[in-house]
Amino acid sequence: MRKAVNIIGIGNMGGGMALNLLAQGYAVQVHDVDAAKVHFFKQNRALAGMEFAWSAIKSVVTIVCVVDHLQTQDVLFGKTGVASWASAGHTVMLCPTISPDDVQSFAQRLAQHGIHTIEAPMSGGPARAQDGSMSLMVACHDALFKQHESLLHDLSNRVFHVSERIGDGARTKLVNNLLAAINLTGAAEAISMAQKLGLDTHKTLDVIEQSSGQSWIGSERMRRALAGQMHPPGAHMTLLAKDTQLAMQAARAAGCANPMGEVATGLFAQALTQGMGDFDDAQMLTLLKSL
């Protein structure tokens, strides 16, 4: 029998993971509120429309890949949530970027049902989720990691077991995403400056990519922005807006002074107030050009 997994939430990242596992021969059960996405995956050999009880019996793990803590709470503990149908000994992999406190709370509540938790926030974008080159920041007990190590490495060739302490995956992801936001806003500011100086922005970005100013997110987002390839959005502005807020909450709680983080967080918040929440976050260049 093919190894079976559930994926709840098949948007950009969850969808990429589903396609990756399907290509490797997994039996993938998908759940999503978007019927069109479910239909697409049914056409690509995924199982859909099955009862949760089937999922609980047949799968080795349930991967939760929704957007925020409210959606996570609903799929775990709502009326038909995971906790109500998964059997004791089942494992849930939590992939959303949420606060460390929320992750710890969810894991403790799942444990009361005899359900294990692997914390595994992701980084890298949909294409890297699909080709298995995204980063996974895993926190769970060593024994649980070893039990599901094969699946983790099938999902990603960049698996980092950062800690046995649940919540450390979220802490690591927030540190990473705060730096990503700083790098992205910095790259957008630099390209905006290059344009106002009368430079060829494409050639300027060529130089940056081979010099000390290079960053992966800066290059990837600015290339798309300059090419006008931001529809449909690869990553919505709301995501880094949410993540920077969470990162700064964690920083303040730890007594960290993060002046660059405060600036980046403020710029993403400003983008939301200007109605750019559903835009590609590469549109940060548009925002900074308007200032």
List the pLDDT tens digit at each of the 291 positions of the chain: 468 899 999 999 999 999 999 999 999 999 999 999 999 999 999 888 665 545 555 688 999 999 999 999 999 999 889 998 888 999 999 999 999 999 999 999 999 999 999 999 999 989 999 999 999 999 999 999 999 999 999 999 999 999 999 999 999 999 999 999 999 999 999 999 999 999 999 999 999 999 999 999 999 999 999 999 999 998 999 999 999 999 999 999 999 999 999 999 999 999 999 999 999 999 999 999 999
On whether both 147 and 189 belong to a single domain, the answer is no
Residue 59's pLDDT is 83
Write the DSSP symbol of residue 282.
G
On whether both 55 and 130 belong to a single domain, the answer is yes
Residue 56's pLDDT is 52
Residue 199's pLDDT is 98
**Per the structure, how many domains does the chain have?**
2
Residue 1's pLDDT is 47
Prior bond to 232 cis, omega within 30? Answer: yes
Maximal C-alpha separation, the chain? 64
On whether both 161 and 179 belong to a single domain, the answer is no
Letter for the amino acid at 258?
Answer: N
Distance CA 264, CA 188 (A): 11
Distance CA 20, CA 125 (A): 13
**Start-to-end Cα distance in the chain:** 58
On whether both 123 and 210 belong to a single domain, the answer is no
Distance CA 118, CA 95 (A): 9
On whether both 48 and 82 belong to a single domain, the answer is yes
Domain boundary among 166, 189, 220: 166
- What CATH number is attached to the domain comprising 210? 1.10.1040.10
- What CATH number is attached to the domain comprising 83? 3.40.50.720
What residue numbers bound the domain in which 79 lies? 4-166
Domain boundary among 122, 141, 166: 166
On whether both 237 and 277 belong to a single domain, the answer is yes
* Paired tokens of 4: 């079976």
Distance CA 209, CA 230 (A): 20
Q: Are 118 and 149 in contact (CB under 8 A)?
A: no
In 40-94, at which residue ranges do the beta strands (DSSP E only) sit?
47-48, 61-64, 91-94
Distance CA 184, CA 87 (A): 43
